[in-house]
C-alpha cells in the first residue's frame, strides 16, 4: 500500500484544486432560450365549420365534429374500430426495420451523452506497473570505470483533470444531450409516420378493392348488354357500330380492372414492407371500407401547443439547442485551458520492498494553456458554429411553417372532402337510376344505344369517384391526427416493441424511450 503520508499530501493539494475549479467555473456562450410559439389563434385563413357535411348510407359519410382543445389518444387508429387494422399496426411496431433503426440511433445518442459526461466531468484515473532490469555504466555518475546492473519495480496511480473554468465541458455535454433529444424525437417521428402510413395504406387497399369490385360489376353489366346488342344485330334492330362500340366499352373496363388489380397488389406489397415482412410471406388482411368506422370526434389542438406536439418541430428545436451549445464549446476553445495532474506510487529495487516505508513517491502539478496562433483555426470554428446555429434557426422556422401548413391542409381537406363525398354519392345514385331507366327503355326499343352508352360511362365514372371520395374521408382523418402529432405523448411504453431482443440490456434501454 501507499504510505498514509503520501495520501494525505495528495488529498491536501489535489481535491481543493478540483473544488476551486468547479466552483469558479462559468459557461461561456449564449444560454439557450426556447423559441416562442407562433402568435396565431387559428390554422386556416377563413373560419371552419365545426360540424362537417354528412352523406348518409355510404362508408365514410357519417358526421364529424371538431373538438377544440381536445387531447389526442395515443392509439388514435383504434377509433376506426377495425381489429384487422389494430393487429397490423401492432405487428408493424414490432417488426418495422426503420423504426428499429431509429430506436437504435436513440440508444447510440444516449450512450454518447454518458461518454461525454464521463470524459468531461470526471478526472481520468489510470494505474500502471512495471518491472525492468537495467544496466547503467558508472560514467553517468562521474566514475571512470564499472557498471551497475539492477532490477527496478514501479507502481503508480495517475490522475488528470481538466478544470472546466469557462464551461466548455458543460456546453459539450449540453450539446450531446440535445443530440439525444433529436434522436428521441426522430424516433417519435418514425413512430408517427409508420402508424399513419399503415392506416392510409389500409384505406388505400380497401378503396382499390372497392373500385375493383365496382368495375367488375360494371363490366358484368356491360358484357350482358353487349350480348343483348349482338342478338339485336342478328334481327337488324341495331347496327354493327353499336356492337363494336359496346365491345370497346367492355375492353376499356377490362383495362381498368387490370389496372386496379395491379395497384391493389402494389398497395398490399407496401403494407407488407411496413410491417417488416416479405410480400410473399406477409399474409395481409383484406380491408373493406364498409367495415371501417369514421372517427366522429376530431380533436383540434390549439395552435400554440402544436409546436410541443409535433415530433419534427421538437427535433428541430433540439437541433437548435445543440448548435447553440456548440457555439459555447467553440468559444471556450479560444480561452485558457487549465489542467491539474497528480500521481502517487512507489518504486523499489526488489518486489518485496515495493510497498515499503521508503518506496513511496508522488507528484502533483498544474498547467495552463492559452492558444496564441493556430492560423485562424479556432476563430473559423467559432464562426462556423455560429453559422450552424443560424442554419438550425432557419430550419426550425421552416419546420414550424410546414407543420401549420399540414394542419391547415388537413382541415380544409376534411371540410371539402365531406362536401365532395355527399356530391359524389348523389351523383352515383342519380346516375345509376338514370342508367337503369335507359337500359329498360333500350330493351323496349324506346331509347337509342348511344343513350345507353353515354349513361354507362357516366355511372362508371360516378361509382369510381364515389369510392375514391369515401376513401379520402378516411385518409384525410388520419392525416389530421398525424399533422397534430398523433398523441405520442400519451403513449405508455416504448415506441419500438420488438418481439425478440438480442439482450436484456437492450430491452431495458429501449424501454426507457
* Cβ contact 324:389 at 8 Å: yes
Handedness of CA 214, 216, 217, 223 (dihedral sign): positive
Residues 45/46/48/53 CA torsion (nearest 10 deg): -120
- Tell me how far apart the alpha carbons of residues 327 and 385 are, in angstroms, rounded to a whole number: 5
- Residue ranges of domains in the chain: 4-286+295-510
Side-chain half-sphere exposure of 247, counting CA atoms within 13 A: 9
* Cβ contact 476:417 at 8 Å: yes
- Tell me how far apart the alpha carbons of residues 366 and 342 are, in angstroms, rounded to a whole number: 9
Strands 124-137 and 337-348: unpaired
- Tell me how far apart the alpha carbons of residues 293 and 79 are, in angstroms, rounded to a whole number: 7
Report helix, strand or coil for 127: strand
* Residue 484: per-residue pLDDT: 97
In CATH, the number for domain 4-286+295-510 is 1.20.1600.10
* Residue 12: per-residue pLDDT: 43
pLDDT of the chain, 513 residues: tens digit per residue:
444 444 333 444 444 444 444 434 568 888 999 999 999 999 999 888 889 999 998 999 999 999 999 999 999 999 999 999 999 999 999 999 999 999 999 999 999 999 999 999 999 999 999 999 888 887 777 777 777 788 888 999 999 999 999 999 999 999 999 999 999 999 999 999 999 999 999 999 999 999 999 888 888 888 888 888 888 788 887 788 888 888 898 899 899 999 999 999 999 999 999 999 999 988 899 999 999 999 999 999 999 999 999 999 999 999 999 999 999 999 999 999 999 999 998 988 888 888 888 888 889 999 998 988 888 999 999 999 999 999 999 999 999 999 999 999 999 999 999 999 999 999 999 999 999 999 899 888 888 877 887 888 888 889 889 999 999 999 999 999 999 999 999 999 999 988 765 444 444 544 444
- Tell me how far apart the alpha carbons of residues 410 and 483 are, in angstroms, rounded to a whole number: 7
- Tell me how far apart the alpha carbons of residues 50 and 66 are, in angstroms, rounded to a whole number: 5
* Residue 437: per-residue pLDDT: 94
* Residue 461: per-residue pLDDT: 86
**From the centroid of its chain, how far is CA 487?**
14
- Tell me how far apart the alpha carbons of residues 264 and 217 are, in angstroms, rounded to a whole number: 17
- Tell me how far apart the alpha carbons of residues 97 and 277 are, in angstroms, rounded to a whole number: 10
Q: Which three cell numbers mark 370?
A: 492559452
Q: Which three cell numbers mark 291?
A: 367495415
* Residue 229: per-residue pLDDT: 81
Handedness of CA 95, 97, 101, 102 (dihedral sign): negative
- Unique residue bearing C-alpha cell 498514509: 4
pTM for the model stands at 0.85
DSSP string, 356-386: STT-EEEEEEEEEE----STTHHHHHHHHHH
CA separation (Å) from 183 to 167, 178, 190, 317?
24, 9, 10, 12
CA separation (Å) from 17 to 23, 125, 363, 364?
10, 16, 14, 11
User: Rounded to a whole number, what is the distance in angstroms from the first to the last CA of the chain?
Assistant: 45
Burial class (CB in 10 A: 0-12, 13-18, 19+), 291: middle
Amino acid at each position: 500500500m501507499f504510505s498514509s503520508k503520501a495520501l494525505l499530501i495528495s488529498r491536501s493539494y489535489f481535491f481543493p484544486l478540483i473544488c476551486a475549479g468547479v466552483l469558479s467555473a462559468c459557461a461561456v456562450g449564449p444560454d439557450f432560450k426556447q423559441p416562442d410559439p407562433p402568435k396565431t389563434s387559428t390554422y386556416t385563413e377563413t373560419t371552419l365549420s365545426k360540424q362537417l357535411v354528412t352523406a348518409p348510407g355510404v362508408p365514410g359519410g357519417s358526421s364529424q365534429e371538431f373538438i377544440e382543445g381536445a387531447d389526442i389518444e395515443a392509439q388514435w387508429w383504434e377509433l376506426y374500430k377495425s381489429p384487422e387494422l389494430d393487429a397490423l399496426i401492432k405487428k408493424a411496431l414490432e417488426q418495422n426495420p426503420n423504426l428499429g433503426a431509429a430506436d437504435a440511433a436513440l440508444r447510440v445518442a444516449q450512450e454518447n451523452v454518458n461518454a461525454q459526461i464521463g470524459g468531461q466531468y470526471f478526472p481520468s484515473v489510470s494505474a500502471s506497473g512495471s518491472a525492468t532490469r537495467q544496466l547503467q555504466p558508472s560514467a553517468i555518475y562521474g566514475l571512470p570505470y564499472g557498471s551497475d546492473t539492477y532490477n527496478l519495480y514501479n507502481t503508480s496511480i495517475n490522475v488528470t483533470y481538466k478544470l472546466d473554468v469557462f464551461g466548455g465541458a458543460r456546453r459539450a455535454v449540453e450539446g450531446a444531450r440535445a443530440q439525444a433529444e433529436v434522436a428521441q424525437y426522430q424516433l417519435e417521428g418514425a413512430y408517427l409516420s409508420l402508424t399513419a402510413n399503415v392506416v392510409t395504406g389500409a384505406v388505400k387497399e380497401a378503396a382499390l378493392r372497392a373500385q375493383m369490385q365496382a368495375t367488375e360489376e360494371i363490366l358484368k353489366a356491360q358484357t350482358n348488354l353487349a350480348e343483348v346488342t349482338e342478338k339485336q344485330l342478328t334481327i337488324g334492330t341495331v347496327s354493327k357500330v353499336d356492337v363494336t362500340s359496346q365491345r370497346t366499352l367492355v375492353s376499356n373496363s377490362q383495362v381498368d380492372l387490370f389496372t386496379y388489380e395491379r395497384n391493389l397488389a402494389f398497395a398490399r406489397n407496401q403494407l407488407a414492407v411496413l410491417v417488416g415482412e416479405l410480400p410473399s410471406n406477409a399474409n395481409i388482411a383484406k380491408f373493406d371500407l364498409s367495415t371501417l368506422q369514421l372517427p366522429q370526434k376530431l380533436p383540434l389542438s390549439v395552435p400554440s401547443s402544436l409546436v410541443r406536439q409535433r415530433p419534427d418541430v421538437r427535433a428541430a428545436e433540439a437541433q437548435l439547442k445543440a448548435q447553440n451549445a456548440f457555439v459555447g464549446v467553440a468559444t471556450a476553445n479560444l480561452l485558457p485551458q487549465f489542467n491539474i495532474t497528480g500521481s502517487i506510487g512507489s518504486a523499489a529495487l526488489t518486489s518485496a520492498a515495493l510497498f515499503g516505508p521508503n518506496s513511496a513517491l508522488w507528484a502533483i502539478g498544474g498547467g495552463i494553456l492559452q492558444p496564441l496562433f493556430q492560423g485562424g483555426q479556432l476563430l473559423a470554428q467559432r464562426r462556423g458554429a455560429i453559422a450552424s446555429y443560424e442554419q438550425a434557426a432557419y430550419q426550425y422556422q421552416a419546420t414550424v411553417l410546414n407543420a401549420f401548413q399540414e394542419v391547415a391542409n388537413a382541415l380544409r381537406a376534411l371540410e371539402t372532402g365531406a362536401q365532395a363525398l355527399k356530391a359524389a354519392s348523389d351523383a352515383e345514385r342519380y346516375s345509376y337510376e338514370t342508367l337503369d331507366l335507359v337500359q329498360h327503355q333500350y330493351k323496349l326499343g324506346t331509347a337509342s344505344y348511344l343513350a345507353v352508352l353515354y349513361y354507362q360511362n357516366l355511372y362508371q365514372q360516378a361509382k369510381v369517384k364515389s369510392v375514391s371520395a369515401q376513401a379520402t374521408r378516411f385518409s384525410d382523418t388520419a392525416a389530421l391526427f398525424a399533422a397534430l402529432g398523433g398523441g405520442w405523448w400519451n403513449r405508455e411504453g416504448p415506441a419500438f416493441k420488438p418481439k425478440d431482443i438480442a439482450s436484456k440490456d437492450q430491452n431495458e434501454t429501449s424501454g426507457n424511450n
